[in-house]
Amino acid sequence: MSLTLRTISREQHLAFIQSLPAASHMQVPAWADVKAEWRSESLGWFDRSGQMVGVGLVLYRQLPKIKRYLAYLPEGPVINWYAPNLDDWIQPMLAHLKQQGAFSVKMGPPVIIRRWNADTIKRGIQDPDVKRLRDLEADFIEPRAFEVADKLRRMGWQQGEDGGAGFGDVQPRYVYQVPLANRSLEEVHKNFNQLWRRNIKKAEKAGVEVVQGGYQDLPEWQRLYEITAVRDHFRPRPLSYFQRMWTALNTEDPNRMRLYFARHNGVNLSAATMLIVGGHVWYSYGASDNIGREVRPSNAMQWRMLRDAYALGATVYDLRGISDSLDETDHLFGLIQFKVGTGGQAAEYLGEWDFPLNKLLHKALDIYMSRR
């Protein structure tokens, strides 16, 4: 099967995404507007009959002082990764990106290699010999994912540094997901651990209310988010980023992004943003105040978001990045501990891959990035 690749319109790109069961929120055309500091392009793959069979959102970041670009396809492209002729998909893309002035290509195949169930992870946490998820036997392994990795290596792609929890510019290699397909809400709730169920009940008893917010509530979101940033020692994104995200994503699809607040006695204690693409729903950003933790607002909010995702017909509720560390002294351990309580699964993606089109500039970028 010979494939051709060309630039497509945003309308064509969106129509293709809408025809799929799901795709990453970073591969919808509107994501280009969220990442306003990058130049962007929508790519389409076409088969012999002229039918579109794949799409990709490319973000171009210019190198300081020269007209050469890093081309980035976050959690993409959206193609048939298990095609026996993966080369026929990838080569036209590399040729096109080179023509566009790219010196290096970075992509994140949306391919899951392994999954670990909550019970397996809990056993791992209790075992002093287990330090990382990888030390545990996975409950599910996708053999085709290893073939994809082999093919990419043979083509000259290099596996990026392990992003760990993916905090920063790389996307998470490990994520935590609650599968919803073919399950009742009762089953999902039953799978929560005792502490989660108790905390949800506690919040209900205390009268915690979970409400949806709109664009006008983003400053209140920002207030909670900045409190969180101070507490957890990270650099917060500005309010303008979330305003742009809201406008861009919800202009494309009025149900692409949602905002939730958990409040008690009229005071907002925690907040979260939720993203929706087809049957895949993400809890994307979370924030909470330092007060009111005893009424468990975060558990109440997650349960409401999960129920809403279920009502939308979602097949997966994705709690996004975790670290693969199961060591209780690790500063990111609390994150996996909180998410494991939902009874879902940890999933490992193939990670991000780089293709240096110009080895010298690619090396220069590596040095530049490592100094930042």
Copy the structure tokens of residue 233. 């020692």
Which pLDDT value is given to residue 364? 75
Residues 122 and 256 in one domain: yes
Q: Does 357 lie in the same domain as 225? A: no
27 and 89, same domain (yes or no): yes
Give yes or no: residues 254 and 323 share one domain.
yes
**Shared domain check, 47 and 183:** no
Residues 296 and 248 reside in one and the same domain: yes
Q: Are residues 266 and 134 in the same domain?
A: yes
Residues 158 and 250 in one domain: yes
316 and 246 assigned to the same domain: yes
237: how many CB neighbours lie within 10 A of its CB?
Answer: 15
Pick the closest to residue 158 from 361, 362, 349 (CA basis).
362
pLDDT of residue 332: 86
Are residue 121 and residue 56 in the same domain, yes or no?
no
Per-residue pLDDT of the chain (372 residues; tens, 9 = 90+): 689 999 999 999 999 999 999 999 999 999 999 999 999 999 999 999 999 999 999 999 988 888 899 999 999 999 999 999 999 999 999 999 999 999 999 999 999 999 999 999 999 999 999 999 999 999 999 999 999 999 999 999 999 865 443 334 578 999 999 999 999 999 999 999 999 999 999 999 999 999 999 999 999 999 999 999 999 999 999 999 999 999 999 999 999 999 999 999 999 999 999 999 999 999 999 999 999 999 999 999 999 999 999 999 999 999 999 999 999 998 889 889 999 999 999 999 999 999 999 888 878 777 766 665
As given in the structure block, the two tokens for residue 91 are 């080569």
Task: Please tell me the total count of domains within the chain.
Answer: 2
The full 3-state SS of 204-266, as one line of letters, equals HHHCCEEEEECHHHHHHHHHHHHHHHHHHCCCCCCHHHHHHHHHHHHHHCCCCEEEEEEEECC
Distance of alpha carbon 257 from its chain centroid, rounded?
A: 14
Both 185 and 38 in one domain: the answer is no
pTM of the complete model = 0.93
Q: What is the CATH number of the domain that holds 83?
A: 3.40.630.30
C-alpha distances in Å from residue 51, one per residue of 45, 54, 92, 158, 286: 8, 9, 16, 31, 40
Residues 99 and 121 in one domain: no
Task: Sheet containing 52-62: give its strands across.
Answer: 4-7, 39-46, 52-62, 69-73, 102-107, 353-356, 158-159
| pLDDT (0 to 100) of residue 199 | 98
**Domain hosting residue 83, numbered range:** 4-108+352-370
